[in-house]
Amino acid sequence: MGTRRKSRELTMQMLFQGDLGKQTPEQVTKLFWSSVTDVDEETRGFAEDLYRIATSRGTEIDALIEEHSQNWRLERMPVVDRNLLRSAIAEMLGFPKTPHAIVINESLEVARRYAAPESIHFLNGVLDAVARDLLKARLG
């Protein structure tokens, strides 16, 4: 598994932990990294960057998810799906030079490992819609 994919996976896990455990970002970071020891600095650094963006821009990210997930309320989505979306959108917002197609593909690869098989099409649809809107907004 590549460094970036591992970082994306770790980010989703941190978001999942905070979401399910109702923990603050500081609590999540402290507890999460105390149990994960076999990660190199580059992988950890990118995961922490994504997590920081996802938590600091959480309201904006959740609004994008709600807007583009037709007939789905955020709280009704499976926890894994919700946090995969948050992680991917955080990357789209925080690292605009990374092509959205790569972010989406990598997120779907993580989803294949953690999400239900029927979630893949849903995640792809929401992320594609968000990516198109973000691209439109950048182009003005």
How far is it between the farthest Cα atoms of the chain? 44
Predicted pLDDT at 78: 94
pTM for the full model? 0.94
Range of the domain at 34: 3-139
- Is the pLDDT at 70 greater than 90, yes or no? no
Specify the CATH number for the domain of residue 93: 1.10.940.10
- The total of structural domains in the chain comes to 1
Reported confidence tier of residue 140, pLDDT bands at 50, 70, 90? low
**What does the pLDDT look like over 71-128, one tens digit per residue?**
888 999 999 999 999 999 999 999 989 999 999 999 999 999 999 999 999 999 999 9
- Is the pLDDT at 1 greater than 70, yes or no? no
